[in-house]
Amino acid sequence: MPVPGPVRGEPASVEAWRRGWEQYLHYRGDPVAVMSEAGARDGSFVMGPVFATVYRVLAGTPISSPILASDADRCRARSGRSGRRERDHVRALELLLDGEFTAAVRAWHQIARGELDFAAVRFAHDVSLHAGDVGGRLAASSHAVEAWRGEPGWGFVAGQHAFALEEVGRYDEAEDLGHQALNLDPDDLWARHALAHVYESTDDTPAALELLQGSAKRWSEQDLFAMHIWWHLALRLLASGDRAGAMAIFDERQAHAKTAFQLCDQTSLLWRLELAGCEVGGRWDELADRWDGVAERHTCSFLDVHAAVAFARRPSHPGADRWYRGLAGREACGSENDATFDEVVNPLVDAFRTYGEGGYERFVRLVDQLGSCTARIGGSIAQRDLISLTRQAAQALA
C-alpha cells in the first residue's frame, strides 16, 4: 500500500484514511462512505471529505446533492484551520466542483510535484480520465512513477502509468509496467485493467483471455470495478466470434449493474452485440428502465452519452422524453464541463437519437464534424470505440 500523504485528524480518522484507500485501490467495500463518515465526526479531518467529494463528482453526483454539498462544505469550513497541503487540495477541489476539470488536474499535479502525495497523484489520474485529458494524465503519471520508485506503493503508481502509456499507444512499455505492478500485488485491479486495454488495443485475444479468464475468481470479487473487467472479457469473446459467450456475460451481470457507470458497461456491450448482428430481444427495455431511475444525469458527459444510446433504442420509453428535456434544460455557467456538453455531448446525443430513427447519413456527418473532440467525453479509447463502430455501421446502412 502507498502512504497516501500525511493527514491531520483524530486517530480514528487517520485509520479511516488508511482503510478507505485500501478499499479504493482494491475495489472493495465503500471507501467514499468510509471517508465521508469519518469526516462527519472529526472537525480537523479535511482530506476525508476531499476524497469523498472528488469521487462523488466523478461518479456523476449532482453538485446540488445534499450529501455531496455536505462533504464539500466540510472541506471549505475546515481548510482555513489546516495546513498548506490540505488548503491546496481544497483549492483543487473547488476547480473540480466548478467544472474546470483540466485546471483541477494541473492543481493536483502541482501538489504531487512538490511532495510524495499519493492522493494528489491518484486524483489527477482519475480526473484526467473523466475529462479525456490524455496529456495531463501522462504528465502526472510520468513524474509520479519516477518520484515513487523505491517507495511503498510504487506498484499502484506504476499501474496508473501503464494505463496512461497504453492510451498514447506505447503498448510495450505499458505491458511491461502493468505486469510489474500486478506481480507486486495480484489484487491491483487497475494494473490488470491497464493490461486488458493493451490487449484490446493490440487485438491480442489469447493474451487477454489468459489475463482475465485465468484470474476471474480473484477479480470478480472486487465488486467496485469487476463489472468493467467483465466488459473487457466480453469484448474479447465478441472479437473471437463467441457471441453467445459475450451475451451470457451481459445476462449474468445485468442484475449486478447498480451504478450509472456499471450501466454504461452494460449499455456499451449490448449495443456492440447488436452491431455484431445479435438478436437482443427485450433487453433494451430493462436498460431504459434502469437509466430512467439514475439520479446521475446531465453532470457527466460519459454517462449522458451512454444513457442516450439506451434511449435511442427505446425512444418511446416514458423516461426518454424526461431525460431529453432534462438535458435541454441543463443549467450552464460557462465552465469547461459546460463547454463539453454544448460542443460534444449535445451533438453526440443528437447523433445517436438520429441513428435510432434511421438517420444514418446524418449520424456519420455529425460524428465526422466532431472528429477527435469526442475524446472530451472522457473514458478510454476502447470505450469511445463505440462511436467509431457505430459510424462504420451507419456508413454501411446509409
pLDDT, tens digit only, all 398 positions of the chain:
665 667 888 999 999 999 999 999 999 999 999 999 987 888 899 999 999 999 999 999 999 999 999 999 999 999 888 889 999 999 999 999 999 999 999 999 999 988 889 999 999 999 999 999 998 899 889 999 999 999 889 999 999 999 999 999 999 999 999 999 999 999 999 999 999 999 999 999 999 999 999 899 999 999 999 999 999 999 999 999 999 999 999 999 999 999 999 999 999 999 999 999 999 999 999 999 999 999 999 999 999 999 999 999 999 999 999 999 999 999 899 999 999 999 999 999 999 999 999 999 999 999 999 999 999 999 999 999 999 999 999 999 98
The candidate with the shortest Cα–Cα distance to 7, out of 50, 36, 40, is 50
Give the amino acid at 207. Answer: A
17 domain-assigned: yes
The angle at the Cα of 189, spanning 152 to 171, to the nearest 5 degrees, equals 90
Q: What is the DSSP letter of 335?
A: -
Global pTM reads 0.96
140 domain-assigned: yes
Rg (CA), the chain: 21
394 domain-assigned: yes
The candidate with the shortest Cα–Cα distance to 148, out of 114, 178, 118, is 118
Domain end among 124, 152, 180: 152
366 domain-assigned: yes
- Taking phi first (over 0 means left), then psi (-120 to 50 degrees means alpha), and beta for anything else, what does residue 29 get? left
* Residue reference for cell 463489472: 227
Which structural domain, as residue segments, surrounds residue 332? 257-398
234 domain-assigned: no
Q: Are residues 142 and 13 in the same domain?
A: yes
Domain end among 117, 152, 187: 152
213 domain-assigned: no
What whole-number distance in Å separates Cα of residue 360 and Cα of residue 358?
A: 6
Q: Please give the tally of structural domains in the chain.
A: 2
Contact 194, 184 (CB under 8 A): no
Q: Which grid coordinates belong to 19?
A: 482503510
Domain end among 152, 177, 200: 152
360 domain-assigned: yes
Q: Are residues 392 and 268 in the same domain?
A: yes
The angle at the Cα of 285, spanning 342 to 200, to the nearest 5 degrees, equals 65
187 domain-assigned: no
Handedness of CA 371, 374, 380, 382 (dihedral sign): negative
Q: Are residues 6 and 148 in the same domain?
A: yes
